[in-house]
Amino acid sequence: MHIDEICRSITPVIGQPGLFQAEVDDGWAQGRTLFGGIQALLAVRAMRTAMPNLPPLWSLHTTFAAPAAAGRLGLQVEMLRQGRSAVQVAARLMAGEQVAAMFVAVFGASRDSALSFKPVLTPLADNVKPGPELPFMAGLSPEFTRHYAYRWVEGGLPFSGHTAKTNRILLRQRDPGLMNEEQIVAMADAIPPVALSLVQGHAPASTISWELEFVHHGQAVSTEGWWRMDASLVAARDGYANQDAHLYGPDGELVALSRQVVAVFA
C-alpha cells in the first residue's frame, strides 16, 4: 500500500462516534510491529477526520505500548480541550482489544505575536558529500524502508560500530504524491536510532516514546525533493538511549523537532 492509500483507508465506524478503522499491509512492518511513523500518521489522520476544522499540528506525543501487526486496526479519538486558539486531542491505536499506542496532539491556530525567530540550517563542511542512495535489502532492511530513500551525509550506518554521536541523513518519500502534514509526521520517524550506529553487529531496538514538534507549516511539496534530518545521541545507559533530531525541508527551512526514548537490546 502506498501512503496515500493508508490515509484513505481510515473510515468512521457507523454508529460509534470517535471510533475509526484503518487498513495497513505488511509492507509497512518494522520487525513484529508496524513502523511507528505510520502509526502516528493513522492517529493524526483519524483526528482530522473526526474534527475536519482542526488548525495546524504543533506537537504530537506518542507512547508505543504494544506491537501493532499489519491488517485492520481500530482508532479511538477523543477531544480533551478546545480553547480559543489551541485544541488538544487524544487517540488510541487498537490492535484487537489491546492498546498498541497512545497519542496526544496539540493543534493551534496562528496568532499575532511580537516574537519571530527563524532558525538557520547548520551547513555541512565543504569536504562533506552525501553518499549514494542506499538500496533496500530484503531480509536486512525493515520492510517500511521500501517507501523511503536514504543518503548518509555524516555519521555511521546502523550496526557499523561507528563512533560519531550525530547522523546527518538525506531522505525522501518514494511513494508519489505530496508531502502534507501526515506524510511529514511519518517521515520524521523514518531514520534509524543513532544508538544503532554505535553498535557492532545486529541488535534489536524499539522506540518507547516519541515527541514531535512542528516549528513551521508551509505549503505541501512534491516528494521529489530531499529532506534532511540531523539526529544526535544525547545519552545512553541501562539499555535505553535518548536522541534529539531536527528535520529540514527541501528548501533548507527547519520544519520539525523530534525527541525519542529508545530501548536498545545490545
Q: What distance in Å separates the CA atoms of residue 135 and residue 13, rounded to the nearest whole number?
A: 39
pLDDT for residue 125: 67
Tell me if 73 sits within 8 A of 226, measured CB to CB. Answer: no
Q: What distance in Å separates the CA atoms of residue 84 and residue 109, rounded to the nearest whole number?
A: 9
Tell me if 168 sits within 8 A of 153, measured CB to CB. Answer: yes
Tens digits of per-residue pLDDT, 46-95? 999 999 999 999 999 999 999 999 999 999 999 999 998 999 999 999 99
Does 127 have pLDDT greater than 80? no
Q: What is the mean pLDDT of the chain?
A: 94
Mean pLDDT of 38-43: 98
- Lowest mean pLDDT of 47-51, 126-130, 192-196, 260-264, name the range: 126-130
How many CB atoms sit inside 10 A of residue 237's CB?
A: 7
Name the one residue in this structure whose C-alpha cell is 457507523. Answer: 14
Model-level pTM? 0.94
Mean pLDDT of 9-36: 95
Q: What distance in Å separates the CA atoms of residue 76 and residue 18, rounded to the nearest whole number?
A: 6
Query: Side chain identity at 97, as an amino acid letter?
Result: E
Q: What distance in Å separates the CA atoms of residue 258 and residue 79, rounded to the nearest whole number?
A: 24
pLDDT for residue 235: 97
Cα distances from 61 to residues 13, 21, 44, 200, in angstroms, run: 25, 21, 11, 31
Tell me if 251 sits within 8 A of 220, measured CB to CB. Answer: no
CATH numbers and ranges of domains, the chain: 1-109 (3.10.129.10), 127-266 (3.10.129.10)
Residues in the chain: 266
pLDDT for residue 116: 78
pLDDT for residue 70: 95
